[in-house]
Amino acid sequence: MDVTLFRVNWTRDLPSVRLSVIKTHFSNTPLTLYCDVESFYPEDVSVSWFQNGTVLPDPPATDQNTDHTYTTRRYFTLSPEQRQKRGTVECVANQPEVADPVSTSADLDKLDPQGKCSPLHP
């Protein structure tokens, strides 16, 4: 009996990660951030949020692109207290069996500059 073995090689497309903010006019209100995690394969990816190195609680959802990679946008709303802490926010995308996650971070002073000044003075 002749047995042929097949080996399946799964390729992985690491995501690109981009962090943005939904602009608000007042620094004493919650601030919603969003993280675009794009062009990854396979679908299984987890996204974590950190502020100043401390993990923030998480939300979910993915969409399939025409090239069969996946895209997801994850939102996180900083409370007024978290927003006042300023510092660095980070979005981290982890894929199973990939040692180094892909991440992006930004300083809240750059993402949310009105947080440094009065809402009446641009």
Distance CA 88, CA 86 (A): 7
| 73 domain-assigned | yes
What pLDDT is stored for residue 119 in this prediction?
Answer: 41
Residues in a beta bridge with 72: 37
Would you state the pLDDT for residue 6? Answer: 59
Q: Could you tell me the pLDDT band of residue 25, with boundaries at 50, 70 and 90?
A: confident
Read off the pLDDT of residues 49-97 as tens digits, 9 standing for 90 and up. 889 999 887 654 567 788 888 878 778 888 888 888 889 989 988 888 8
Strands (E), the chain: 16-22, 31-40, 46-51, 54-56, 63-64, 70-78, 88-94, 102-107
Asked if residue 8 is part of any domain, the answer here is no
Domain of 74, in residue numbers: 16-116
Q: What is the pLDDT of residues 92-106, one digit of tens each?
A: 888 888 889 899 888
Q: Considering its fold, how many domains does the chain have in total?
A: 1
Give the pLDDT confidence score for residue 61 in this predicted structure.
58
